[in-house]
Amino acid sequence: MLAGLLITLFAVTLAVVAGPDRLAGQAAGASLVQALKWDVLLAACLTANIAMLARHRFFTPADIDGGGLSPGTSPAQLLQSILQNTLEQAVLALSVHLVWAAAMPGSWQAAVPVAAILFVVGRLLFWKGYGHGAPRRALGFALTFYPSVFMLLLLLARLAWEALA
């Protein structure tokens, strides 16, 4: 988790400090469009999770009726847990990325693509390590969660600063 936090702090801070100059003059509408383009990566991760569970259910007679009609096998429960976590993380990340695109300066907008890329890397590591326990999925979880939290904290600080000014 600490490694994920340090990677997040470094990557997002670097994106904000050294982001492309062309983003600095970008209007909020253009920033929103750009954020949505990058957030297709979040949708791809969610789609992959849904497909993995659907594929498992289709080829497993004990799980073909779905989670609501049967207790589910261990692999189905594992895939459902991973899907649930991915859905939660995708909703959080998408929300933060869109508010960031609307509220933060243009020069800070490079944080969204960095966070989206960290999301994908984090999900891949999370999926690979999930069945092996918390220590093996920790970095993947951190790379998915911490960029959203860090960006949210920066957003809240900026909005509080603007309210007080």
**Claim: this prediction has a pTM higher than 0.75:** yes
How many CB atoms sit inside 10 A of residue 162's CB?
9
pLDDT one-digit tens code per residue, 41-76: 999 999 999 999 999 999 999 988 876 767 789 999
Question: What integer pLDDT is reported at residue 11 of this predicted model?
Answer: 95
pLDDT one-digit tens code per residue, 77-113: 999 999 999 999 999 999 999 999 999 998 899 999 9
Q: Is the pLDDT of residue 123 over 80?
A: yes
Domain 2-16+23-164 - what CATH class?
mainly alpha
DSSP 8-35: HHHHHHHHHHH--GGGTT--HHHHHHHH
Nearest to 76 by CA among 121, 134, 131: 131
